[in-house]
Every structure is written in structure tokens, then in C-alpha cells.
Structure 1
Amino acid sequence: MRASRKVRVAILISGRGSNMASLVAAAQAPDYPAEIVLVAANRPDALGLATASGHGIATRALDHRAYPSREAFDAALQAELAVADIDLVCLAGFMRIFSAGFVEAWAGRMINIHPSLLPLFKGVHTHEQALAAGVRLHGCTVHYVVPELDAGPIIAQAAVPVRPGDDADALAARILVQEHRLYPQALALVASGQVRLEGARVVFSEGLTGAEGALLSL
């Protein structure tokens, strides 16, 4: 990623794009180290596309059902990212699994937010999983994307207490507030070079302690 200009970011969505909206809002600050230049969705009806267009951001809809294979979809997406001169990809509710080749091509340059404190509760229905497990803390994680689902090195996490009487909807709503805080902070760390991926490890720049780097919130 280039230090001479702001990092050019593409956000990939599949639905309403609430985390996308939080990244777009943060990037409007003059001193934010990244600019959102493209929002792409694998569903043409994704509501977040209209939100992005309203902010003057270029959008692309690539209906995954129109492609004969996962690799063909990934190749079409790669072409869009190349045309937009993208440095860094942010997944924000993007409900597609990439081919290993696509992930490897973006190693260290693609991040995701997941609604659990990884490595706990990978996949979907994380809030139901947390309640069934009886954990007292639940939260969200920003991590680098690797070929294995929800297994990439962790950049940042935020936690909330699980309260007596919580159901999945109540827990999800509280965690979403933390997601909207955490993701812009984590993207800023990556885009500014304060966090980077070295092999399978996340490395924080000098001056960031582990606790500060993790951005853990109770």
C-alpha cells in the first residue's frame, strides 16, 4: 500500500451494508488514512448499493448467480478491483466464500468483521451459538481473510457482556454498535501501516501495545 496517498479501499457487501456505512462515515474525516472508492455487491438488490451511491461512491453489482463457478465470479470481481486501483478490500456482511486463489492474491490486503470473539463461534448464527454455549462475554472481531473461513489473524476485537434474559436479537443489536465503532478504527490501523500481516502473525507498530492494538471494549 502506498504511503504517498490515501489507501484506496473497496467494500464488499451482500445486504444493507450497515458496517459499510460506518466505514464511509469515518473516511469522510480529512485525516482518515483511507478513502472508500468502490462498493461492490454479489446481489443486485443489496440495499447498501444505494447508500454508497448517495455518498458519490462508485458501485458495482455482480450477481453471483450469473457466473458458472466460484472462480468465474472471483475473476470478474478481481477485474473490477483492478480497474478501480484498489489497495485494500473490506468485507462488510459479504456472504460469499472466495476461492483460495482469490484470497491468496489479496493476502494481507483483505479484512473482514465477524460477529463473535473469534476463534469462538465461526460461521453463521453466532449470537445463537453464544447463547447456547452460555458464555458471559460475546462480541466482534476484525481479522485478515485467509482461505479457511473465519480463521484469519486477529486485528482487533470488542466485547460486550451477555446479560440475563438476552435473546439473539438483543445481543446482536448491542454488538452491532460495537462493530460500527471497531471496524473504522481497525481499518485506520491497517491503512496507516500501524498494523500489518507478517506471515501468519499480526504485527503492531512500536507505540501500540497489545491491549491498545486489540481495542478491546467492555
Structure 2
Amino acid sequence: MSHRGLGAPLIALSDYIIFGDSGIMTLNIGGIANITYLGKEGTIAFDTGPGNMLIDQAMAHFFGLSMDKDGRVARTGNIDDKLLIHLMKDAYLEHPLPKNSGREYYGSTYLSNLIKKFPWLKKEDFIRTLTRFTAASIYDQAKRFLPVLPSEIVVGGGGSRNTVLMSDLKTLFEGRVETFKDKGIDDEFREALGFAILANQTIHHAAGRIIDPEIMSGP
């Protein structure tokens, strides 16, 4: 953070060790989605916006469930264009790099305001549109802030197990979209590796980042 960063995302270095500067974009879809672009121009890592957070909160509100397992509810709904257009005007998407986000922004108040603004929507359509918003916001941020759109995206986190969300990503991105599991990499191992690397770097008083602040701050 003393080097003009925000302290997150935390495991860009481990992704760099695994993939090098291959031009791959790694995408972690937890509560918040974050990307790491591993290009020869440099490494760029930031939070793109909501991952599963809005979907999970809406599932709890409408269905009393903790998540939309495998996208089963989203699969029964339709994308509502008005809601999606409203979501894509979200102020966070306009914020310059470096940036990160969390529950303080995309929490219960955010969802409550959406439900009040679109009270007529079927609950299945709400879930389907929030799922599309996660994918569309990731694409928007990659297109807006990366030097080029990646030819390959490798996805981890709980969102990688939502087949509707993965299908939306494949629809939006022209490059190949696959999971860490497809690459033969255990997602939990990747996170453990990331924190082990950070611990090692701390013990040896070495840099825990490979992100160029000049690239992250734009022209």
C-alpha cells in the first residue's frame, strides 16, 4: 500500500509464477470478482465489481438459500434489459485504477435499492440479470482498463462452478475461457500458494507484488 497500491487483490504474484507474462487473464470470482492480466506490457490486477455477492444476497432474499448452486435458478429466468442497463451505469465501473471493492459497496443496501427500483421483476429474472451483470461488468472492466482483451481467461473461485455465469463469460469474451481445474490446477492450492509466497517475501523483506503502479494509474 505504501507503493501506491490498495493491498488487494493479493495473489497476483502466484498467478505470475504459474503463467508468467503469457498474456493470460486470471479471473477470481468470489464475493467480489478480480482479474490479473499477465502481459508483456506489465501486470495489472484489480477488482472488477461484484462476483457472487449480489447473486448470493438475492438468493437469500428471494429463496432463503445461500447461493444459486450451478446457476440452477438463473437458468430458469430471463435477462431484464432495463435492470441490466441500470446496473451497467454503476459508478464503480467508472472509477480509475487502482481500485478495489467489497461488501461495504455491494452489500445489503445496494441490493435493497435495486429491489425497490424494480419491484415488478420475477425473482428468477432478478437472479438471471444479476448473473449476467457479473459477467458483463468483468468484460466491461477488461475492455476498459487492459491494454488488449486477453486471448485466454482462466477462472477460479466459487463463480467458476456456476455454469450460467461461465456461459455468459464465454459469450462475451472472444478468447478461450476455462477454469483452473481445466488447467490441472487446484483452486485451493493456488490460493495457498499465493499466501505462502507472500509470507516468504515478507520474511525476506522482498516485494510482494509484480504490479507496475505506472501501468495501473493509466496515461
Task: Tell me, yes or no, whether TM beats 0.5.
Answer: no
* Greater share of helix: 2
* Greater share of strand: 1
Flag the structure with more relative contact order, 1 or 2, with Cα contacts below 8 A and sequence separation at least 6: 2
